[in-house]
């Protein structure tokens, strides 16, 4: 009872502070809370490098709730910000706000269950739904989305606000290329349906739009028949150009005679063989890096990771198909590691690693991650300067590298990619540890990220940040390049008071 009274008091204070036009009872009905547990949990993210407490948190049960809150913010006399938070897996406070309300989109009781339309091969999902739950709902119909992220405990709205990429993107495009329709609450509090045909400006702006133009409350996602099993293969290279040549060859293939997933990672130190993504290498089959020729190559090895999906009825032909594809590649012949598992286990593979890290207290640590799109023509320079240069021989986490085809990305979306037909994702997914080892400290890794960006800049590598993070508008302008004018125009049209997703630091709220 006392808690309820305190919360009522805090909500009344909030009404006065931000000039809300809603009654306290209405706020409670909406699911607005100032409970410290909710406020504190909305003040941090996976990066664990910034902490910003919102004035309140909204737990919406429908798009109408979201629209009502944003409308109140838009019409309020003092104004306040509204930031959608999916699963809070940003790195740099992108879903935080200190001058308003965080809308907690993921969680129990929000928005309703995914609705699968088997005949039309799509699913309608709430914007806060986690991809793992989308997958489970679709599998019940023998269907699955086509394009993924490596980790499934991310919200649909959160990944669609960036792009959503994994090893399927070379063929299916990013997740934003696999959306038919969205429901969006704009910064004026209007709930609008949009697609390529209906309100196309809003549709394209929101996809990859970093939450700047609206809050996604529903997404209609394209589906395919779900494979049953996956053959998962890793092979090693000591020669970078052989590695990239093979990756680029694999992403140029079409039709059935291709792998379904193409990724890769960089191994600069033997420790990485035991890192959180390499549980794959079984202890019964230890990899001796020194035996694989990496010593002649600045100590760096490259691992190509590929999969072939299949149905149990085609198990007889799968081996021949894989063999034919592998024959065309130039990896170290003794370095083939193969495993076979259900499709869902493959897609959910990073969660297993998460559970292990959690049990060792190594999940909730700062993550100074850096994700870059590097043009194909510059990837060899990047290798020389960064993998074999700046990194030294310690990485503190996985470094992913895989190419994608630009023609699978819709240039009308807000996301920016390098201006070449093929570009690579290079993802430095590092964890900072407070264990006295200088090379694992947050300061060291943050400085190293700066050195990597400086190297790219000084050497004209024309990289673009993925999941970008900048502090000034001039940096954002440079990031968006020729897309900036449209980005700004769309902001004026759909969020003229700059209420939404202020944690991205692109526009300053106008109150
Ligand atoms: P949040 O961090 O909650 O929000 C991110 C941004 O989106 C914020 O600006 C927020 O305001 C906005 N937003 C959130 N929900 C909505 C909505 N409904 N409508 C509009 N805007 C919204 N990315 C990949 O592409 N591929 C990967 O393989 C991949 N793996 C990852 C693995 C891990 C362990 C982690 C931590 C991240 C990974 N990411 C990956 C990055 C991830 O896609 C982004 O950080 C994404 O934003 C996280 O989703 P979220 O739901 O946690 O978003």
89 assigned to active site: yes
Q: How far apart are CA 335 and CA 287, in angstroms?
A: 8
Residue 257 alpha carbon to ligand 1 centre in Å: 33
The ipTM estimated for the assembled molecules is 0.99
Does the active-site annotation cover 150?
A: yes
Domains annotated on the chain, with CATH: 2-105+495-504 (3.30.43.10), 115-225 (3.30.465.10), 229-466 (3.40.462.10)
CB distance 11 to 28 below 8 Å: yes
Q: What is the arithmetic mean of pLDDT over 263-274?
A: 75
Mean pLDDT, all residues of the chain: 92
Instruction: Exactly one of 38, 65, 87, 89 is catalytic; name it.
Output: 89
Which residue is closest in CA terms to ligand 1's atom 7? 158
The pLDDT > 90 percentage for the chain reads 82
Cα of 393 vs centre of ligand 1, distance in Å, is: 30
Q: Which residue has the higher pLDDT, 433 or 299?
A: 433
Atom nearest to 501 CA in ligand 1: 11
Nearest CA to ligand 1 atom 32: 151
What's the gap in Å between 153 CA and the centre of ligand 1? 9
Give SS3 for 400. strand
Ligand 1 center to 215 CA (angstroms)? 13
Q: Is the pLDDT of residue 145 over 60?
A: yes
Choice from 42, 52, 59, 149 to test ligand 1 binding pocket (greatest atom count within 8 A of CB): 149
C-alpha distances (whole Å) from 198 to each of 93, 111, 180, 203, 409 are 32, 23, 11, 8, 20
For the segment 232-261, what is each residue's pLDDT rounded down to a tens digit?
999 999 999 999 999 999 999 998 899 999
Tokens for 43, please give them. Answer: 């003040």
Q: Please count the helices (runs of H) and the strands (runs of E) in the chain.
A: 16, 18
pLDDT at 308 over 90: yes
166 close to 211: Cβ distance less than 8 angstroms: no
The DSSP element (H or E) to which 163 belongs, if any, is: none
pLDDT at residue 491 above 80? yes
Q: With bands split at pLDDT 50, 70 and 90, how would you rate the model's confidence at 288?
A: low
What pLDDT is attached to residue 394?
Answer: 79
Atom of ligand 1 nearest to the CA of 184: 19
pLDDT in tens, 319-348: 999 999 999 999 999 999 999 999 999 999
């Amino acid at each position: 009872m006392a808690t309820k009274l305190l919360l009522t008091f805090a909500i009344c204070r909030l009404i006065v502070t931000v000039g809300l036009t809603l009654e306290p009872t209405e706020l409670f009905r909406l699911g607005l809370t100032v409970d410290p547990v909710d406020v504190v949990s909305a003040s941090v993210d996976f990066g664990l490098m910034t902490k910003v407490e919102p004035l309140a948190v909204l737990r919406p049960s429908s798009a109408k709730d979201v629209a009502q809150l944003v409308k109140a913010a838009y019409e309020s006399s003092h104004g306040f910000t509204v930031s959608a938070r999916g699963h809070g897996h940003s790195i740099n406070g992108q879903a935080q706000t200190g001058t308003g309300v965080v809308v907690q989109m993921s969680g129990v009781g929000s928005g309703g269950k995914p609705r699968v339309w088997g005949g039309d091969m799509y699913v309608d999902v709430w914007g806060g739904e986690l991809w793992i739950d989308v997958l489970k709902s679709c599998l019940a119909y023998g269907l699955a989305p086509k394009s993924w992220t490596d980790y499934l405990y991310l919200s649909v709205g959160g990944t669609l606000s960036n792009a959503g990429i994994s090893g399927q993107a070379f063929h299916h495009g990013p997740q934003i290329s696999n959306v038919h329709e969205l429901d969006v609450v704009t910064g004026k509090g209007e709930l609008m349906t949009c697609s390529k045909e209906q309100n196309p400006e809003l549709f394209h702006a929101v996809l990859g739009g970093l939450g700047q133009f609206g809050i996604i409350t529903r997404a209609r996602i394209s589906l395919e028949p779900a494979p049953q099993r996956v053959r998962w293969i890793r092979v090693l290279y000591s020669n970078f150009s052989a590695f990239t040549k093979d990756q680029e060859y694999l992403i140029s293939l079409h039709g059935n005679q291709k792998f379904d997933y193409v990724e890769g990672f960089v191994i600069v130190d033997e420790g990485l063989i035991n890192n959180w993504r390499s549980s794959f290498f079984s202890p019964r089959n230890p990899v001796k890096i020194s035996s694989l020729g990496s010593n002649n190559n600045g100590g760096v090895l490259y691992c190509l990771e590929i999969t072939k999906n299949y149905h149990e009825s085609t198990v007889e032909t799968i081996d021949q198909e894989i063999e034919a594809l592998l024959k065309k590649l130039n990896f170290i012949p003794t370095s083939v590691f193969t495993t076979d598992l259900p499709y869902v286990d493959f897609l959910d593979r990073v969660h297993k690693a998460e559970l292990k890290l959690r049990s060792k207290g190594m999940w909730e640590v700062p993550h100074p991650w850096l994700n870059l799109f590097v043009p194909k023509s510059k990837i060899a320079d990047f290798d020389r300067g960064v993998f074999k240069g700046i990194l030294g021989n310690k990485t503190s986490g996985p470094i992913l590298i895989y190419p994608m085809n630009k023609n699978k990305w819709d240039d009308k979306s807000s996301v920016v990619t390098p201006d070449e037909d093929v570009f690579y994702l290079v993802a430095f997914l590092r964890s900072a540890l407070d264990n006295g080892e200088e090379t694992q400290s947050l300061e060291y890794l943050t400085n190293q990220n700066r050195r990597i960006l400086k190297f790219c800049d000084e050497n004209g590598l024309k990289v673009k940040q993925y999941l970008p993070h900048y502090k000034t508008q001039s940096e954002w302008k440079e990031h968006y390049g020729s897309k900036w004018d449209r980005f700004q125009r769309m902001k004026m049209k759909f969020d003229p008071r700059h209420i939404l997703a202020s944690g991205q630091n692109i526009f300053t709220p106008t109150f």
